[in-house]
């Protein structure tokens, strides 16, 4: 999972996108958000991913504070999913593909 930040505000005030890519199928889920706090990330994940597909076995993300917070870690533990934090700004770690 990752964020696309600093977008022009929508009519609902959303300025960020939360992006989730399934590494097995390549299926992409995108959810607009107004911020990237841990609570917002959890709510977006619950609404856009969990309700439709259930809990992921593991979540790979960069070390964004929204993903590294105790709140998000507790949520992941409750859902029974592992967290895999990659180094920031490493495209080959974020999407599972190696850049040439």
Over residues 82-96, mean pLDDT = 67
Q: Residue 62 is encoded by which pair of tokens?
A: 């960069």
Task: Select the highest-mean-pLDDT range: 29-33, 62-66, 85-89.
Answer: 29-33
Over residues 47-52, mean pLDDT = 88
Segments forming the whole domain that contains residue 29: 2-87
**Residue position matching structure tokens 């889920």:** 29
Please state, in angstroms and rounded to a whole number, the distance separating the CA atoms of residues 48 and 56. Answer: 12
Let me know if residue 92 belongs to a domain: no
* Number of structural domains in the chain: 1
pLDDT at res. 9: 94
Let me know if residue 81 belongs to a domain: yes
Say if CB 35 and CB 42 are below 8 A apart: no
Q: How is the beta sheet containing 16-21 ordered, strand by strand?
A: 2-4, 16-21, 28-33
Residue 68: how many CB atoms within 10 A of its CB?
Answer: 14
CA contacts within 13 A on the Cβ side of 48: 20
Q: Residue 84 is encoded by which pair of tokens?
A: 């895999």
**For residue 19, what is the domain's CATH number?**
3.30.420.10
């Amino acid at each position: 999972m990752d964020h696309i930040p600093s977008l022009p505000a929508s009519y609902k005030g959303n300025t960020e996108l939360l992006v989730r890519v399934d590494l097995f199928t390549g299926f992409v889920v995108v959810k607009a958000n107004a911020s990237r706090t841990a609570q917002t990330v959890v709510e977006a994940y619950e609404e856009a991913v969990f309700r439709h597909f259930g809990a992921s076995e593991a979540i790979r993300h960069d070390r964004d504070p929204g993903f590294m917070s105790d709140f998000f870690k507790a949520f992941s533990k409750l859902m029974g999913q592992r967290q895999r934090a990659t180094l920031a700004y490493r495209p080959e770690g974020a999407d599972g593909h190696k850049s040439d």
